Amino acid sequence: MSLDFEEVLEVNRLRLVARVVSNAAHDVNNALQVIGGSAEMLAIRPTLGPTEQRRVQAITSQTERIAATLDRLSSITRLDGRGRQSVDVTRLADDAVALRAFSLGRARIAVTVDHPVGLSCMVSADRRLILQVFLNLLLNVEQVLADRAASGVQIRFERSAQDCSILFVDNGPGLGMEARAHLVDGAPRPELGPGLSGVGLWLSARIAAQHGGSLEVDETSATGTSLRVRLPASS
């Protein structure tokens, strides 16, 4: 499929953004190490009172939180590291939620990630691409549930002998026929909106298929939309 000038321009812009973000994340992480190290040195001083101790602990916890966010961000923006590897999709779902936590919280969308005890969901996959799928599905949830009261999405995991399934179940109005068509193999590419919107489900379905899996609507959901990402299990 060919891209027109505006699409190429946007792809080029996003590629440049990835390079800039990757370098900026590295610089900020170096600064965080200095801040975190200084906080650790302050924490062991016996002259600090309770208030100062709490402030030092707050600095330490916030630097750790920012460092974790930068690590997740770098995992999707860096241009190297492509290729299949053993991936725990339960942890990858956690990373996707963490990257969208601010926007989901601002939209008042409650997110629940259900981690069954003892369940292993390891797949052989390109980590960046599967993370892209999860982020696309969360963005879709944000668009569908925008301005709806008591909105929420639950992420669940299921395991069969051959597959790992990741379900994104929301309590929205349901998926329209046009959006459903974008999940079908061979369906035409959807029209692009501002910022390359309109391709999330279409692209996610093809990424899943590229990994020997699928993205499909789970028809067992009585209300809202339940999207199932099915990937071949590696162990």
Contacts of 135 (CB under 8 A, 6+ apart): 76, 96, 99, 100
Tokens of 81: 């590291």
Q: Long-range contact list for 37-44, CB < 8 A, 24+ apart?
A: 39/63
Q: For 46-55, 117-126, 141-150, which range has the lowest pLDDT when averaged over its residues? A: 141-150
- Structural contact between residues 153 and 168, judged by C-beta atoms closer than 8 angstroms: yes
Give the pLDDT score at 196: 44
Give the pLDDT score at 195: 46
Cα 203 to Cα 124: distance, rounded to the nearest angstrom = 19
Contacts of 228 (CB under 8 A, 6+ apart): 165, 166, 167, 214, 215, 216, 217, 218
How open is the CA angle 211-156-67, to the nearest 5 degrees? 80
Amino acid at site 131: L
pLDDT band at 228, cuts 50/70/90?
Answer: very high
pLDDT for 127-183, tens place per residue?
Answer: 888 988 998 899 888 888 877 777 899 999 999 889 999 999 988 877 666 666 656
Q: Which of 175, 165, 157 is nearest to 116 (CA)?
A: 157
- The residue count for the chain: 235
pTM here is 0.74
Tokens of 186: 């061979």
pLDDT for 58-108, tens place per residue?
Answer: 998 888 888 888 777 777 766 555 678 889 999 999 989 988 888 888 888
Q: Is the pLDDT of residue 1 over 70?
A: no
Give the pLDDT score at 155: 95
Contacts of 191 (CB under 8 A, 6+ apart): 198
Q: Which residues of 226-235 are buried (b: 16+ CB within 10 A; e: fewer)?
A: bbbbbbebee
DSSP state of 150: T
Q: Which residue has the higher pLDDT, 21 or 109?
A: 109
pLDDT for 183-198, tens place per residue?
Answer: 655 555 555 554 444 5
Contacts of 231 (CB under 8 A, 6+ apart): 89, 123, 125, 130, 163, 164, 165, 166, 208, 211, 212, 213
Give the CA dihedral 70, 84, 211, 162, nearest 10 degrees.
Answer: -110
Q: Which residues of 175-197 are buried (b: 16+ CB within 10 A; e: fewer)?
A: beeebeebbeeeeeebeeeeeee
